[in-house]
Amino acid sequence: MTVTVPGSTLGIVGGGQLGRMLAEAAAPLGVEVVVLDPTPDCPAAPVVRDQIVGDFDDPEAFRELASRADVLTFEIELADSELLDEVSDEYDLAVHPSPDTLSLIEDKLVQKRALDDAGVPVPPFRRVDDAEDLRAALDEFGSVMLKARTGGYDGRGNVPVRDESEVEDALDAVGGPAMAEAFVDFARELSVIAVQGDDEVRTFPVGENIHEAEILRETVVPARTTDEVLARADEVARDVLSVLDGRGVFGIELFETQDGDISVNEIAPRPHNSGHWTIEGARTSQFEQHVRAVLGWPLGSTARRSPTVMANVLGTVDESRPATLGHVESVLAAEGASLHWYGKDEARPLRKMGHLTVIDGDDADIDSMLTRARDLRDGLTFE
């Protein structure tokens, strides 16, 4: 491997907040970024070399991106895996993670079957095509989480079903092919940000995730659990990587049961919301690691710098409105706090608009840090 600076041009399908933070991490490495996104002046636009405006299944837009890049990646599962495969062949261009991995992960049923076949622990699940299938899942598992097989994110496409009276409404809400997963009596939700490089694998310290209404609100690192659980979570994450092809960062969401067992909830083949803490809290951020990995460069250290809490800044509005964040000075003035604004023009109910992190010394009380991060976040307002 020969690495020079300035380096390659990285083409990214998707120009949302993940594309923005990938470009911010790429710039110091001498890597230029071009993104493809259907929204003009997308969040990544101010920090990339150029944006190609096009849909995530637009063949001509994909070809333009491929013609201008040395390597392709994606920051959203809506990227068309078949098109990525086509332009990879047409332009003799590497795509990481591989289109096959994206194809496997974008369908939650296919994803779960692949993990189960590989011996990776997952909650019991079954395919749901109609009301009869869902009733059978309720009979087998009791209460279930009905999940859209494709397209669901941030709680969208996930519907809890507790008895037969909810079956029809749940199927209507999902609106397409689905899978039913047995409810897990979990003690906490965890995640591991794992990196698959060129013949090397690294994992970040395990994070503890706090959700409300299926949307991630905060991530706490280190996770408040036992050393045995932390080791098992890391082991399972590494087993997950053995199922996936291609280089890059993978966000692996896990359940820890009341008995300390670990099972895989879902996988994201890209940097993940629960890894945003790494920008301030780790030696190398998940975004820099993804850039390094997809280019085939040596990976950086995943060691934690300090205890860290990340809190998402969501759109606390009843209806869509122009996005203007107020009372930012309280975060800017707070010791150890950092604000990340995603540059979205419109605030929508519960839309991810940014995040903040709080770091402290190794002897800090993590519960107090979590309270502080929440107070700072909740003090922000949308004018």
* Annotated binding-site ranges for ATP: 108, 147, 181-184, 189, 211, 265-266
Give CA–CA dist 292/198, Å, rounded.
10
β-partners of residue 312 are 355
Instruction: Give CA 306 to chain center in angstroms.
Output: 22
Using only C-alpha atoms, the chain has a radius of gyration, in whole angstroms, of 20
259: its two tokens: 């008995």
Show Cβ contacts of residue 140 under 8 Å, excluding neighbours closer than 6 positions: 124, 126
How far is it, in rounded angstroms, from Cα 221 to Cα 360? 11
Which residues are known binding-site members? 108, 147, 181-184, 189, 211, 265-266
Residue 164 makes CB contacts below 8 A (sequence gap 6+) with 135, 138
Cα separation, 31 vs 332, in Å, equals 29
